């Protein structure tokens, strides 16, 4: 990434995208953390969404938005900024003056490492986001009732101890590695593969422009949703709980009571969220980078 592009720009782009898709993120987390009675049919995405609207109104769809923004300015800021830095280092010019094209496995490794760092940086905000968005589906006596992300961060550390900030860290880092590799890494792969290809039905050649970015983003979002779903469900259940149950215990209990399908609970809202979120993320990111370069050059 050029030196004139600030490290934090990816976090701003992710915050803008998340502000648009937060209601779907809230619906996904509530689906993942709802306790389902064995033998009963789990609620679908539309039931949860409609229930949220009817119970608390439109404003409730943005419950936990402050935690979501805190998460993007920690987790996404680090994972995107670090990945761009790694990619820039891998693309240093060779002796003939031409930029070196990073190999696919190099970009994948960079995405995995950047994702791990992002997962560590964003873990406290992830806990707050899961708790704040799932609060209303819990019995009143089990709710956390955080007024905002800062209040939640203080209460999390004081009520449960500093170690609570690392609750679910292992699962979250695994999920962050999978997400960055499958979203950011696959986006670069799809974009590189599709560029200059012609869509036969439309007789349209894909250039490095908005249509290509949108198509590559949708494909990356689909891939990322499927790859990350199991880790995402377990992470949500770990973080929404105040008990000391580990990921293996949650996995065994959930498999026994709900079957293998629980690993993909919330897939539909996750996809509906992650598809547009991925498109918006990269469109905002590219526009912000271009705007920053233009401002830097003219100032």
Q: Quote the pTM value.
A: 0.78
pLDDT, mean of residues 39-43: 68
214-248 per-position pLDDT tens digit: 888 888 888 988 888 888 888 778 777 767 777 88
For 105, left (φ over 0), alpha (ψ -120 to 50), or beta? alpha
What is the b/e burial string over 197-212, where b = at least 16 CB atoms within 10 angstroms of the residue's CB? eeeeeeeeebeeeeeb
What the chain holds in terms of domains, given with CATH numbers, is 9-298 (1.50.40.10)
Which has more confidence, 261 or 86?
86
Compute the distance between CA of residue 27 and CA of residue 204 in angstroms, rounded to an integer.
Answer: 37
Cα–Cα dist 224/94, whole Å: 33
Q: What is the pLDDT of residues 244-282, one digit of tens each?
A: 777 888 888 888 888 888 888 878 877 877 778 888 998
Query: In angstroms, rounded to a whole number, what is the distance separating the alpha carbons of residues 17 and 281?
Result: 5
Tell me the per-residue pLDDT of 109-140, one tens digit each, with 9 for 90 and over: 999 999 999 999 999 999 999 899 888 778 88
């Amino acid at each position: 990434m050029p030196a004139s592009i600030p490290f934090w720009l990816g976090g701003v782009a992710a915050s803008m995208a998340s502000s648009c898709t937060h209601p779907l993120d809230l619906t996904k987390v509530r689906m993942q953390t709802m306790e389902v009675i064995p033998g009963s049919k789990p609620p679908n995405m539309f039931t949860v969404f409609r229930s949220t609207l009817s119970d608390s109104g439109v404003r409730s769809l943005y419950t936990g938005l402050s935690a979501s923004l805190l998460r993007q300015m920690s987790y996404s800021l680090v994972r995107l900024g670090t990945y761009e830095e790694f990619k820039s280092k891998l693309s240093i010019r060779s002796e003939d003056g031409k930029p070196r094209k990073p190999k696919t496995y190099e970009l994948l490794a960079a995405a995995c490492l950047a994702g791990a760092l992002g997962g560590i940086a964003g873990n406290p905000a992830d806990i707050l986001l899961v708790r704040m968005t799932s609060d209303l589906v819990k019995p009143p006596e089990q709710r956390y009732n955080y007024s905002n992300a800062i209040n939640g961060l203080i209460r999390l550390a004081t009520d449960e101890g500093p170690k609570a900030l690392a609750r679910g860290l292992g699962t979250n880092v695994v999920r962050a590695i999978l997400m960055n590799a499958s979203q950011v890494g696959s986006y670069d792969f799809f974009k590189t593969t599709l560029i200059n290809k012609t869509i036969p039905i439309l007789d349209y050649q894909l250039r490095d422009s908005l249509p290509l970015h949108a198509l590559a983003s949708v494909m990356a979002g689909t891939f990322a949703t499927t790859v990350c779903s199991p880790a995402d469900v377990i992470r949500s259940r770990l973080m929404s709980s105040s008990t000391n149950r580990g990921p293996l215990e949650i996995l065994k209990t959930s498999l026994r009571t709900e079957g293998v399908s629980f690993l993909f609970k919330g897939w539909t809202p996750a996809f509906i969220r992650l598809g547009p979120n991925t498109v918006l993320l990269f469109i905002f990111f590219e526009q912000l980078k271009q705007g920053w370069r233009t401002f830097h050059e003219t100032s």
